[in-house]
Amino acid sequence: MADPQIPSGPSFNIERIYVKDLSLENPGAPQSFSMQTTPQVEVSLRSRAEQIGEGVFECVLTITVFLVEAAQAGIFHIKGVPLADIQPILGIHCPAVLFPYCRETIADAVTRAGFPPVHLDPINFEVLYQQQMASMQQPPQQQAAASIPS
């Protein structure tokens, strides 16, 4: 009979979630507070992951909104998962776990800068991951042609 305390299959555990880097600039203050125009909200995001130990990975989700950049990180234990399946976990599941924390960090920073909070819409990290994988599989000529504006 198997010991119920020892997992026999794949496991995924969150060891820690933390803010790795936070940058806020408010160069137009206090004049920016009296502006009547609605600012254009542009959001950029990137995710990276690296192995920091056997079965231990750090994933960092960085989101930039206005003049706020937040890098939300997490340490994840992933055991019993085939190597081919690790990359999708790091590219989809880990950023999805980190996103609510990063969204809260950005909303708080924007509010502390004196502006109404920014509430980021949910992000489908699976679709983003699939798009990234598809673009990496294109031959170099197609990638260059796809990046040239018409």
Mean pLDDT, contiguous 10-residue spans, the chain (150 residues): 64 96 85 70 90 96 91 97 92 97 94 85 94 82 45
Angle between helices 94-112 and 125-137 (to 10 degrees): 110
Residues 6+ apart with CB under 8 A from 116: 110
Q: How far apart are alpha carbons 67 and 75 in whole angstroms?
A: 27
In this prediction, residue 4 carries a pLDDT of: 58
Tokens representing residue 121 in the block: 């819409």
In this prediction, residue 146 carries a pLDDT of: 44
**Amino acid found at 129:** Y
In this prediction, residue 109 carries a pLDDT of: 93
Chain centre distance of CA 123: 9
User: Within a 10 A sphere around the Cβ of 47, how many other Cβ atoms?
Assistant: 22
In this prediction, residue 6 carries a pLDDT of: 61
pTM of the model: 0.80
Provide the 3-class DSSP secondary structure of residue 138: coil
In this prediction, residue 96 carries a pLDDT of: 97
In this prediction, residue 148 carries a pLDDT of: 41
